Amino acid sequence: MTITEGNTLSLNCSANGNPAPSYNWLLPQADPNTMEERSVVTITNMAKSHSGEYTCIAINPLGNSTCTVNVEVTDAECLVVSPARLVVKHGDPASSNCSSDTPVEMGWESTQGGVGLTDNKEVKILNWRVDSLTDWKIKPSCFTDGGQCEKQLDITVYKLPDSVSISYRKYPDPMVEGHQYLLQCLVQNIAPIGRLRVTFYKVSATGEQTELDTRQKAKDNIKTPENGTYILHFTPGRDDDGAQLLCSAMLDLGPEGPQPPAVVESNRLNTNVHYKPQITMSPGCFSMTITEGNTLSLNCSANGNPAPSYNWLLPQATMEERSVVTITNIAKSHSGDYTCIAINPLGNSTCTVNVEVTDAECLVVSPARLVVKHGDPASSNCSSDIPVEMGWEAFQGGVGLTDKEVKILNWRVDSLTDWKIKPSCFTDGGQCEKQLDITVYKLPDSVSISYRKYPDPMVEGHQYLLQCLVQNIAPIGRLRVTFYKVSATGEQTELDTRQKAKDNIKTPENGTYTLDFTPGRDDAGAQLLCSAMLDLGPEGPQPPPVMESNRLNINVHYKPQITRSPGCFSMRITEGDTLSLACSANVDYLPIIAGLASVVILLVISCFIYSSYYKHTRMSH
């Protein structure tokens, strides 16, 4: 850093560390063995002899951290122009002061608002002012008698553009996906053009604005108004259909200019993008089975511009010119590939659906799969297209073969307690049989998190083993255990997820899941937990049930890290000024307080024992 002679220097050093660090400052003039034992260094009336390196050292029992600031002390100026830089709109007023620490004869040399040398009168301040600034290249300069000292006022005169417009270099008719087009943005009558930034944007049909690119002329010395043309190569995609294109002109004149910088937007170009069809059938090109006698309906749809026409190529090699194919009372002869073709002038897209026609089922179980909580009721129906004698075989809720032919038979249990139940619907003679798929589940009795070995203390960078215990849950193969960290500010982060290999264990089990955890200093004050989620698929509870564990508080020990701002740096300071440097570090004070408390308690107990011993000895004598 640099600092002017006579000013005050203040440096503040801070660091993170646990236990809390102490601070030393090594100054440029000091003996290497002599240090300032404090976090803040302040020097008033800085002189050139104070130039040099100022090093902060933060120390605790685990190590140390250093940071060096290089300070340069510079001469005080003979003339000061304030403000030293002006940004003025063409035709607006402008003003600046020229000052000196001691009275001198001074003047302003300028094409507008010039002030002659003060007549035999020494002053400490002289004003330059213009009511309407019209000279684009003006360079006012403050000077002293004899020209011993001179300071120039930096002025930028600006003008916003008369207009901003966007167009195609060659109009696209039509605009086609994947082709390249040249956009041009014309900015008229703007100054200074070297500070102009032109940005191209795309606004989607939903109103979302995306920046495409930014263009800027090379910074030159042109100060008068100019026209500027900026170009961009644009390659549209199908998603750009219906979007708009525009450009904006921003005159960025730095911190002394208008804030935020002045921006002028162009007109908007509507885009109509032509592209070949893309079939959007749901669930896409697929295979399917259908039972004899049912109705097949296939609907083909596609995105395309212009809008596509549709043809269906059927298994019998016939073509149907429509988007929907419907076949009632379907037979096995209708099995095969059904291909949809979507066509427009830019191309075509095809999608094939393989249809297999199967025999009508003798029995249908509905629902075919159940997920039931242990102890809850359960029910399913078995049906047939034609009346038959049927029954249900099950450990719970079994139904014997009916005495008469029926088309539907219900299986029901008021409280399902058999973990491995497999109800099966059957017909007379066992010619047809269908099994009901049942999953019986139970939520855990408890979920808890702990360390495999308790860390005392927990140190940054070391590894510790966490374990999550889930008790009495079924089926354990559908359990997912997730470990989380909750920061001191309440932000929750997922660390990892564990899951047992899916097996056939259906009865309740206990599960232990482990995770290696390596803490950092940012984890101080955070909490650790785990959650157990039983994911039973779409037939199970939605959303899947989740049970959280207790929370572990963590206290991380770590060495200091200096946190002073702006860090280790160089500076200049003027002779006679004050230099102040502060060193500080972040730490956790709880271990220090606990240690001091332990020492005090031991001292009190020792004093009490000694007092009792002394009193007993005196009495015995």
User: What is the CATH topology of the domain spanning 2-74+561-585?
Assistant: Immunoglobulin-like (2.60.40)
> Does position 138 have pLDDT exceeding 50, yes or no?
yes
141-145, 492-496, 591-595: least confident range: 591-595
Residue given tokens 């039931």 in the structure block: 372
How do residues 411-463 score in pLDDT, each as one tens digit?
A: 999 999 999 999 999 988 777 889 999 999 999 999 999 998 888 788 999 99
What does the DSSP assignment read for 22-66?
A: EEEEE-TTS-TT--B-SSEEEESSB-GGG-EEEEEEEEETTEEEE
**Which residues lie closer than 8 Å to 207 by C-beta, 6 or more apart?**
none
Instruction: Look at residue 219 and give its three-state secondary structure.
Output: coil
pTM score, whole prediction:
0.48
What is the share, in percent, of the chain residues with pLDDT greater than 90?
62
How do residues 509-554 score in pLDDT, each as one tens digit? 999 999 999 999 989 899 999 999 999 999 999 999 999 999 999 9
CATH number of 293-358, picked from 3.90.550.10, 1.10.3720.10, 2.60.40.10, 1.10.468.10 = 2.60.40.10
**By C-alpha distance, which of 155, 156, 164 is closest to 227?**
164
Gap between the Cα atoms of 382 and 368, Å rounded: 9
Q: What number of helices (H) and strands (E) belong to the chain?
A: 1, 53
Would you state the pLDDT for residue 200? Answer: 97
pLDDT grade for 607, boundaries at 50, 70 and 90: very low
- List phi, psi (to 5°) of 313: -100, 115
Which of 30-34, 66-70, 95-99 shows the lowest mean pLDDT across its residues? 30-34
Q: What would the two tokens of residue 160 be?
A: 């916003």
The band of 567, judged by pLDDT with boundaries at 50, 70 and 90, is low
> For 147, left (φ over 0), alpha (ψ -120 to 50), or beta?
left
Mean of all residue pLDDT scores within the chain: 88
* Residue 617 pLDDT exceeds 50: no
CATH 3.20.20.80 fits 446-557, yes or no: no
Q: What is the pLDDT of residue 453?
A: 86
| Other Cβ atoms within 10 Å of 9 Cβ, number | 26
Locate 531 and state its tokens. 């959650």
- Burial (CB count within 10 angstroms: exposed 0-12, middle 13-18, buried 19+), residue 314: middle
Q: Which of 487, 469, 554, 558 is nearest to 517 (CA)?
A: 554
Checking DSSP bridges between strand 309-313 and strand 9-16, what pairing results, if any? unpaired
DSSP β-ladder status, 273-279 and 175-176: parallel
CA distance 138 to 88: 11
User: Rounded to an integer, what is the distance from CA 468 to the centroid of its chain?
Assistant: 29
Fold of 175-253: Immunoglobulin-like (2.60.40)
- Contact assessment for residue 598 and residue 605, using Cβ atoms and an 8 Å cutoff: no
The residue type at 445: D
565 band by pLDDT with thresholds 50, 70 and 90: low
Residue 459 makes CB contacts below 8 A (sequence gap 6+) with 519, 556, 557, 558
